[in-house]
Structure 1
């Protein structure tokens, strides 16, 4: 059982202050995309191309890291973030990724200096291998999404966005294991409407909300290597009660990804365009006058567009 804070906002605020100078402050702005006027935060400009660096730094900066270093399971982005944070702070890191992570993300993890272990199967198999390494070596596990320091670190993104002057009634956020959106729920509570957006073929939160608790789900589709958690985190599930969640088809994710490049010259992987896909597909339809914001994240498409 995960021990949760009674009040999340001070925990998120402390994480924001703790990681200052380690995580980047990412830019915000207004864009018109596909006819929608939206506020955006370009979190794909974070270290290693995703918000994951926030949770990784927050976890390591308050931990007594053992001599064996840290270990993490990842679809790719979390592993790169943990590897980067560990190297920045002088710790060894072992990262376990499934084959579906793909060569671009595997190469990114290796560039951080971490030892990368490629595991047959999906994220669940990588997590099992990481836990075995933890038990064998005494390394510290850095969970990708279902841990209070991780969630609080991801929540710093939204505390930062508020400080940058966000004016929005509704914020659309992509969901994999749930660490990012849990950070949004933790920081905003009921102050803004937070809408969870998942791929139809990887929808652990949507399924959990329908069935009354986290359950294992099949994972596939264009965003599976980033949003492919087979089971939603307990923290996210608890915070998501009574909140809106939608799913989007792969075709809409790809369309949103192309739209970001063609109309704004913003290059993201499919997962990074998933939240925007809710507007593209009509899965989320704003009311007249509703101010909508979209978190853009995930800058590691495969293949790497400028590898070589």
Structure 2
């Protein structure tokens, strides 16, 4: 009897230690979370923490190197503060990425639910459009639309919102069909609940974790896509500034003033990397098959 009690007392601390180890957030994930939170705080408080106006010029301080007491990240060829423009660019790029991701998620989820509910003709139309969207290079489509209709922030956000909707549509359709075949959805329907209520109240919460993980995968892709369009001159237009806009502008001074391009390039790299790491971590945490 005493031997059993001793062995049990030795097992309990080991189990508790193992549980604490599972709950512990990896260092890389923590660093990614801190970086992404810092980007959000900078975007929200940009007007208060920006030291200068993004259009303020000082020809006496042209091409000042980083480390200057008044210009921590240096200046460009007309004396504009790189740090101020970087802070404004973070806000604009994150605003576009957040808005486009939300639009893409809502559009794809709604279309996927419609395909799962009506099936047959509606489902075939949705799947055909999804295949067409997946087969068409989105960058070429975006370049064509922006070149034809011109540039505006609203058009850019809505256009970016069309990126990746087919992923959410396929996920929402497949999971909604699977959830509808289970007993709880059929039971609620037999009790007289509307189909829209069943999808919003019962099916959507059960697939929310998968959609959230998909959002973390789409978000950095939209940042890179917006950066590519701005780099090519069809994204955010002056006097506004975005990360891709700064990279495209700084490429002309890569040999004489590399800090103009390197500062936004590093922000793009670390932001997309941190979101990707957080997305992988969330997938491992929310996926029941991995647990």
Q: Give TM-score, length-normalised by structure 2.
A: 0.23
Between Structure 1 and Structure 2, whose CA radius of gyration is higher? 2
Greater strand content: 1
| TM-score in terms of structure 1 length | 0.22
